[in-house]
Amino acid sequence: MKSRFLKIISKSLFVVLFTLICSHSFGQIPQVPREIYFADLTLKLNEQARREIQLDVDALHRNQTYFKTKLDRVNLYMPIIERELQAIGVPLDLKYLVIQESSLISDAVSTSNAVGFWQFKKGTAEEVFLRVDNQIDERKNIVSSTQGAARYLKKNNSQFDNWMCGLVAYQMGLGGAKSYFGTQYNGKKVVELDRNTHWYFKKFLAHKIAFEGQIGRLVSNTGYLEEISVQGPTTLKAIAVRLGVPEAELKDYNKWTSNGQIPGDKTYSVVYVKRGTPQAKPAVATVSTPTNNSTTTYQTTRYSQAQANSYPKVTGNTAKSTQTDQILVNDIEAVEAATSTSQDNFTDQIGMRSGKFRRINDLDKKDPIEAGQYYYTAPKKGSADAEIHIVQQGETLWSISQKYGIKLSSLKAKNRIRNDRSLQVGMVLNLQEHRKRGEDIKVLPVNQQRQTAPIPLAQPAPTQTSQPITRPVEQTTPTQQASPTRISHTVSQGENLFRISQRYGVRVEEIKKWNNLPNDNIQLGQKLIIFKP
């Protein structure tokens, strides 16, 4: 009896201690203010509306164990959600809606048969271009469903020019919201909330207040979510082998494919948990550039040498990189050209239509295939993982787009630049954000270019897979000749003139001129003279 009493006391003390720890970690329950900024709106709450929302906030925080479990899912998925909302032009405040809808449970099903992260019914999902059938249900795909939700929210908002009305239309449908709101809020940027404000919007605000100060805290040590683009037909089993992760884990995070089969009708996003902590964004440094006797200060990303050398990021079975379905380049399916050849020969080898291959890689019909160059077999992205790139000698817009896996059209659009003639060495190109209209592209002075710029293209170390493989690359060290600027380079396996030009920061045409080369063909072991600037 005494032993049982002690056990009860111990258990009670544990509960009290755990509660105190949670209270210390999260602090006090957030209090609903009388004025809230949401999207581009200013919301003014009367006391009754504030009390109603506070009750919901209190309920969300009541069970701290459950709250932490939900917060872990939020922290796992939120970077992808924010990226997709931003890409389509939806305010990031709308991200809290996915927590309200599904608690970020991929296969959640409501009583009205709405499914997935953003709780779409089948008809609505198909309206926003999501595939829903007995094989694929993109409502359970975090990338596709967020894109669909962003399209739907943006379409709704276009009818009201008011994100409160657009958000309520997500629950009621556009027709229902128009009937409910009329035109009283169209274009309004200051909205007063009271007991008559739609319940769905007040519940949304409770989720925003409950989670916005907590995101990024108390993340379990399970890793972070990594995404790859996959062009089928293939299977999760084959991808698991390539990534070196358990197939069961891959299936757990990709329930959108019912049987693990990925069809070839389009590109799909596959996600998995990568162990460790995500690579931190590079530190931001302030650089001053003198212009017309004045000093213009701006911010640019300061790359370390390791970060610079990480692009392109090559993962998978790098020993078989010249075969299809073996490697990912910047998390996109790709293949390495073994020899220089024509596009038709190369596309025949990899079993791909030449027109599709050209579109994916931004190539013209007459562009040759260069040995050692990586070519994508699935579409490139609209933005790169890196924030900026600083132009090096001999680079082109195309070579930069291939290096980071960003579409050439996106690279041009983000920087408002049309052709290679506009490029300058030291120019700071955006790889994520669009340059503002009328904003000049920054050009770093010569003495700062090498300090902040990514190192010219270098082969990264292969990522460990289920079969640890080291890519057989002969390391060649340039030998310094009599003149300090004259270098002798021995061509190693997989190299071409473009890659060598990137390594030394010179142009291909210069290398051909220095070595009297009639064309771009070079051979393994060939000695080349390089005059390094």
Q: How far is CA 326 from the centre of its chain?
A: 22
Average pLDDT score over the chain = 78
Q: Indicate the CATH number of 479-531 among 3.40.630.10, 3.10.350.10, 3.30.2450.30, 3.90.1150.10.
A: 3.10.350.10
* Residue 140 near residue 107, CB atoms below 8 Å: yes
d(CA 372, CA 399): 13
Second-level CATH architecture of 224-274 = Roll (3.10)
The gap from C-alpha 267 to its chain's centroid, in whole angstroms, comes to 15
Question: Among candidates 140, 157, 165, which has minimal Cα distance to 90?
Answer: 157
Instruction: Give the span between the Cα atoms of 482 and 272, in whole angstroms.
Output: 53
Q: Which has more confidence, 492 or 230?
A: 230
**Which of 126-130, 138-142, 310-314 has the least mean pLDDT?**
310-314
Q: What is the 3-state secondary structure (H, E, C) of 3-42?
A: HHHHHHHHHHHHHHHHHHHHHHHHCCCCCCCCEEEECCEE
How far apart CA 483 and CA 270 sit, in angstroms, is 52
Torsion of CA 164, 165, 170, 171, to 10 degrees: 100
Interval 203-222: pLDDT, tens: 999 999 999 877 765 445 56
Which segments of the chain belong to CATH 1.10.530? 26-132+139-212
Exposed, middle or buried by CB within 10 Å (0-12, 13-18, 19+), for 13? exposed
Centre a 10 Å sphere on the Cβ of residue 184 and count the other Cβ atoms it contains. Answer: 10
pLDDT bin (cut points 50, 70, 90) of residue 15 is very low
What's the rounded mean pLDDT across residues 102-114? 93
Q: In the structure encoding, which two tokens stand for residue 24, read together?
A: 């210390």
Take residue 49 and report the two structure tokens written for it.
């509306």
**CB within 8 A of 184, min separation 6: which ones?**
none
d(CA 437, CA 44): 34
> What distance lies between CA 446 and its chain's CA centroid?
31
User: What was the pLDDT predicted at 134?
Assistant: 92
Percentage, residues of the chain above pLDDT 90: 40
- Tell me, what's the pLDDT at 366? 85
> Residue 118 burial (CB < 10 Å; 0-12/13-18/19+)?
buried
Confidence of residue 515 (pLDDT cuts 50, 70, 90): confident
Burial (Cβ within 10 Å: 0-12, 13-18, ≥19) of residue 335: buried
Residue range(s) in the chain whose domain bears CATH number 3.10.350.10: 224-274, 284-327+378-452, 479-531
Terminal CA-to-CA distance of the chain, rounded, Å?
86
Q: What is the rounded CA–CA span in Å between residue 171 and residue 155?
A: 14
Overall pTM surpassing 0.95 (yes/no) = no
Q: Which of 148-157, 403-412, 438-447, 482-491 has the least mean pLDDT? A: 482-491
Query: 185 with 42: CB under 8 angstroms?
Result: no
Whether omega before 454 lies within 30 degrees of 0, making that bond cis, reads: no
Task: List Cα–Cα distances, 527 to 124, 481, 496, 511, in angstroms.
Answer: 63, 13, 13, 11
Read off the tokens for 333. Answer: 């399916």
**What are 52's two structure tokens?**
């109603």
User: Residue 456 CB: number of other CB atoms within 10 A?
Assistant: 20
Q: Which CATH class is domain 284-327+378-452?
A: alpha beta
pLDDT level of residue 277 (50, 70, 90 thresholds)? low
Q: Give CA angle at 306 (444, 479), nearest 5°.
A: 85
- Structure confidence by residue, pLDDT tens digits, 52-62: 999 999 999 99
Architecture of domain 26-132+139-212: Orthogonal Bundle (1.10)
436-457 pLDDT per residue, tens = 777 778 887 654 544 333 333 3
Angle at 224 between CA 223 and CA 225, to 5 degrees: 135
> Pick the residue with more confidence: 90 or 487?
90
Higher pLDDT, 407 or 215: 407
